[in-house]
Amino acid sequence: MSTHGSAERPSPSLALSPGEVHLWLCLHEGAEGRIEPPRWEPLSDSERARALRFHFEPERFQHLLSRLLVRTVLSHYAPLAPRDWAFEADPLGRPRIAHTQAGLTDGLDFNLSHTRGLIALAVTRHAIVGVDVEAASRHLDLALAAAVCSPGELRALQALPPAAQADRLLALWTLKESYAKAIGRGLEMPLARIGFRFEAEGVVFEGDSQGLQWTFWRRRPGPAHALALCVGRDIAVVRGPAVCRAFVLEPGPSPKKKGLSPFPWQQA
């Protein structure tokens, strides 16, 4: 990996306040073959090698594009070129920026999720963030609800009309996954240990706060996808309401960003 001297380091182009979240959505259905090989230059040898382990081209392409998105986006927030980023896993296996770059990144944290046709990358500062995306058509067997839902969630789910139960279960799954990814537990965490209540003003989190104040968002970025996002903030360090702004990208020879300004998201 090449290393630039401080005089050559790029200047960050996007402001990100402590506790604010920027969500980058990359819609890439049908984009295979539209990105020329030179565009992959910032990727590390290990990232390229891992891509070769995928047997099918769509999965290989999505892996490469995900890694390129992480490197390119993070360079908007810190004085590092895309090829110069280094990553490591925390003690629980959660990917993070290498501690050797902490002096240049000012508390940046990120989380990545992808499903067919969509990559979601969440970035925050002086907080922890988690994101999960799923195909809206994904069928979660209602028989699994007892393993996924808390007792309160299960009662609320069973009280819904049968036609609404699948959507509620998918919403619960993505919310719980976003939280589990934020704290670095992933699928290791029993999802029934945390819960959400759906009220008129939004969802209410019922679980271990880890000493942080949590804010959750859930959206349908399009008809084919469901997404949940969360940020955990230490209110002694970060004050004020949590704010999320979203960017939408379309990859290609010249990536298109829909809208020059991010649009705000309201809380879930």
Neighbours of 115 (CB within 10 A): 18
- The pLDDT score that the predictor gives to residue 265 is 55
Residue among 73, 74, 75, 60 nearest 28 (CA):
60
Residue 200's SS3 state is coil
Task: Please tell me whether the overall predicted TM-score, pTM, comes out greater than 0.85 for this model.
Answer: yes
The pLDDT tens digits for 215-250 are: 999 999 889 999 999 999 998 888 888 889 999 887
User: pLDDT digits over 51-92, tens only?
Assistant: 888 888 888 889 999 999 999 999 999 999 999 999 999 998
What was the pLDDT predicted at 115? 95
What does the domain layout of the chain look like in residue ranges?
6-254
Q: How confident is the model at residue 33 (pLDDT cuts 50, 70, 90)?
A: low
Q: How many CB atoms lie within 10 A of CB 152?
A: 12
CATH fold for domain 6-254: Ribosomal Protein L22; Chain A (3.90.470)
144 backbone dihedrals φ, ψ, rounded to 5°: -85, -5
Q: Mind listing the pLDDT tens digit for each residue in 102-121? A: 999 999 999 999 999 999 99
